Structure 1
Amino acid sequence: MSILIVTDAWRPQVNGVALTLERLAQTLGQMGTQTAFLTPNDFRTVPMPSYPEIRLSLATSNMVARRIDEMQPERIHIATEGPLGVLARKICIARKIAFTTSYHTRFPEFIRARVPIPESWSYRWLRNFHNAGKGVLVATPSMGAELATRGFRNIRLWSRGVDTRLFHPSQRKEMGLPRPIFLNVGRVAVEKNLPAFLGLDLPGSKVVVGDGPDLQRLKAKYPDVHFLGTRRGTELSQIYASADVFVFPSKTDTFGNVILEALASGCPVAAYPVTGPLDIIGEGHGGVLSADLREAALAATSVARACARERAMAYDWHECARQFLQFSTSVCSASEQTISALQRAH
């Protein structure tokens, strides 16, 4: 089987969507399924206003349709609601091609943090976008329940995985900083709610790994915080394993891949009781949840690192790929015509 994944989030972006899709493709390949991508790297792009690290594609319907015709996929999955996702959806609807989607980002909250657009307007648009497909994949039960109350249909669970060999407690080392070390990894952007962590009165040291549009502003505002910029691979895994608590202040993430990376490294997590942390940590599985983030961070210093590691072991990339493949196959197999037949007609 061959699957085309359309995504506006791709390299060189460093985020959970790109990471998930890349690892998904690798695992699907091991399972005998070919995966192709339609990404901004295939077209001219412009920087996104207020967030230049994200590039927006300057593609047209004809350009995207031509690429789909060239690839001849048996299944199409639209992963994002950006310019490429919108064009691919339009083409699939026009040609009566069955497609699936996934919900990775709380765009209404993302947009509302930057411009005064009511979240209800954005959710109405997103509901129409996803309900046109055969089904929408979500990472957690709580996210699925929330979308269902907003009128989204055909919601299916699509879990996540973590590389437990790369992210491992054995990578722990001394960082030369006063302990306890409280760590955050992710985009340095307004939607991540970093000031809720950086402004806490905590002992020891605060460390932030990542880049983004708010980096310089936050560095100037919080001079005592250690901002390390982007880190990858073994260097990143060493930082995770060497921290004492991973603090996740975001209230808008749909999952939080970085939570799994921290847990796999034996680093307990402190977070708000919201979608993502609630589903992963729940009632004290490797971390502490509280509406008082300082309380959660301090309490997490007493969580056994072995418990954090054990929780991460429940998340497997092979199971993630199996769920994706099963969903894509089951909901699209009953389409009126195959994609290849429709493409030949065009």
Structure 2
Amino acid sequence: MKILIVTDAWEPQVNGVVRTLKQTRAELEKLGHAVDLISPKEFKTFPCPTYPEIRLSWRPGRKIAARIETFKPDAIHIATEGPLGLAARKYCLKNKLPFTTAYHSRFPEYVQLRFGIPLSWTYKWLANFHNAAEAVMAPTKVVVRDLEARGFKKVVMWSRGVDLDLFKPGGREKLQTRRPIFVYVGRVAVEKNVEAFLELDLPGSKWVCGDGPAAAALRTKYPNVSWLGVLSQPELAEVYNSADVFVFPSKTDTFGLVLLEAMACGCPVAAYPVTGPIDVIGEDGPGALKHDLQQACIDALKIDREEVRRFAERYSWAAASRQFLDHLHPFTPDGQQELRALQSDAAWQAGE
């Protein structure tokens, strides 16, 4: 099947959306599908207000149309709600082509934090965007229910995975500071609530891996914290292995791939009991979820690292990509026939 994915989030951005799409494309290609991806790298772009690291495409409509007509896909998936997503949606509606979308992040909450725009306004706009789709893919059951309560239709679950060969228990020598070592990995921005971690009075030492619009100010404000910047995935695996606790202070993430990466390396998690951590880890999982984040960090130190790794082994990108395929809506006879054949396969249904 020929699958076209349209995304406003792509390299050099380092985030969960980009990693999810890269892994999904790789898994789909392993299954023999032809996957084309339209990203901002093909267009003239301008910096996103307050977030210059993110580049927004300028007037992409004609090129989007040409790319779709050249590739002749069997199915179209629109991953984001930015300029490219809007242009692809407009083309599909004009030409009566069914498509699917995905809800990756708590965008209304981010907008409220940055600009003070009421949640209801942004959720109303997003519901209008996504309700034209044949399926809206969300990462957890809680997010599915939240979106349905906000007026979203045809919401289905598309989970996430982790590369268990890359992220696995290994040497613990990467970070040479006083133990216990507490680590945050991710974007350094207001919506990630990183300062809640930096303010904690914890024994040992703290590390932050990542960059973002709040990084410079926080480096100055917290000089006793160690900073590593943006790392490659192999380097991140070394960091997770060196850490005693992975701290996830965000209250706005829909999933949090870094949770799975840390746990796959055997590193226990400390987080708030909110959407994302509670969906991935659960109340009795390989982490400590408490409204008192400092106590969660201390409690996480007691968790057995081998149990954490075993828990992470439940997740795979192969299974997540099968979910993605199941939710696609092919609009060509060949695509429909191929998807029906896959869905009738006993091994497919068993998730093997």
Corresponding residue SS for 1:68: helix
Quote the residue 2:69 is aligned against: 69
Letter of the structure 2 residue corresponding to residue 223 of structure 1:
P
1:159-183, Cα deviation, whole Å (9 max, x unpaired): 1110111111123225220011000
Contact in 2 for aligned 1:171/1:237 (Cα 8 Å): no
1:281-318, Cα deviation, whole Å (9 max, x unpaired): 10221101011111111100001111111111010011
Corresponding residue SS for 2:310: helix
Q: Does 2:229 correspond to 1:221?
A: no
Shift in Å, 1:153? 1.1
1:131-166, Cα deviation, whole Å (9 max, x unpaired): 100010111111111111111111111111101111
Letter of the structure 1 residue corresponding to residue 91 of structure 2:
I
Following superposition of structure 1 onto structure 2, how do residues 1-346 of structure 1 map, counting pairs within 5 Å? 1-173=1-173, 175-328=175-328, 332-333=329-330
Partners of 1:109 and 1:53 in 2: CA distance? 19
Partners of 1:92 and 1:35 in 2: CA distance? 18
Letter of the structure 2 residue corresponding to residue 146 of structure 1:
D
Contact in 1 for aligned 2:100/2:135 (Cα 8 Å): yes
Give the root-mean-square deviation of aligned CA atoms: 1.3
Corresponding residue SS for 2:114: coil
Corresponding residue SS for 1:169: coil
Contact in 2 for aligned 1:75/1:339 (Cα 8 Å): no
When residues 228 and 208 of structure 1 are mapped into structure 2, their CA distance, relative to the original with a 3 A threshold, is: same
**TM-score normalised by structure 1 residue count:** 0.94
Contact in 2 for aligned 1:97/1:339 (Cα 8 Å): no
1:37-80, Cα deviation, whole Å (9 max, x unpaired): 01000101011111111000013322211111111111000000
Quote the residue 1:343 is aligned against: none
Corresponding residue SS for 1:247: strand
Corresponding residue SS for 2:165: coil
1:60-111, Cα deviation, whole Å (9 max, x unpaired): 3222111111111110000000110011111111111000001001111111
Q: How many residue pairs get matched?
A: 335
Letter of the structure 2 residue corresponding to residue 30 of structure 1:
K
Partners of 2:42 and 2:86 in 1: CA distance? 16
Contact in 1 for aligned 2:174/2:239 (Cα 8 Å): no
Contact in 2 for aligned 1:97/1:338 (Cα 8 Å): no
Letter of the structure 1 residue corresponding to residue 5 of structure 2:
I
Shift in Å, 1:338? 6.5
When residues 339 and 78 of structure 1 are mapped into structure 2, their CA distance, relative to the original with a 3 A threshold, is: farther
Contact in 2 for aligned 1:7/1:39 (Cα 8 Å): yes
Partners of 1:116 and 1:271 in 2: CA distance? 25
| Residue ranges of structure 2 left out of the alignment (5+ in a row) | 336-352
Percent identity between the two aligned chains: 53
**TM-score normalised by structure 2 residue count:** 0.93
Contact in 2 for aligned 1:103/1:136 (Cα 8 Å): yes
Shift in Å, 1:339? 11
4+ long deviations beyond 4 Å: 337-340
Shift in Å, 1:246? 0.4
Corresponding residue SS for 2:151: coil
Partners of 2:177 and 2:10 in 1: CA distance? 34
Partners of 1:338 and 1:18 in 2: CA distance? 30
Partners of 1:41 and 1:97 in 2: CA distance? 25
Partners of 1:114 and 1:280 in 2: CA distance? 27
Contact in 2 for aligned 1:73/1:339 (Cα 8 Å): no
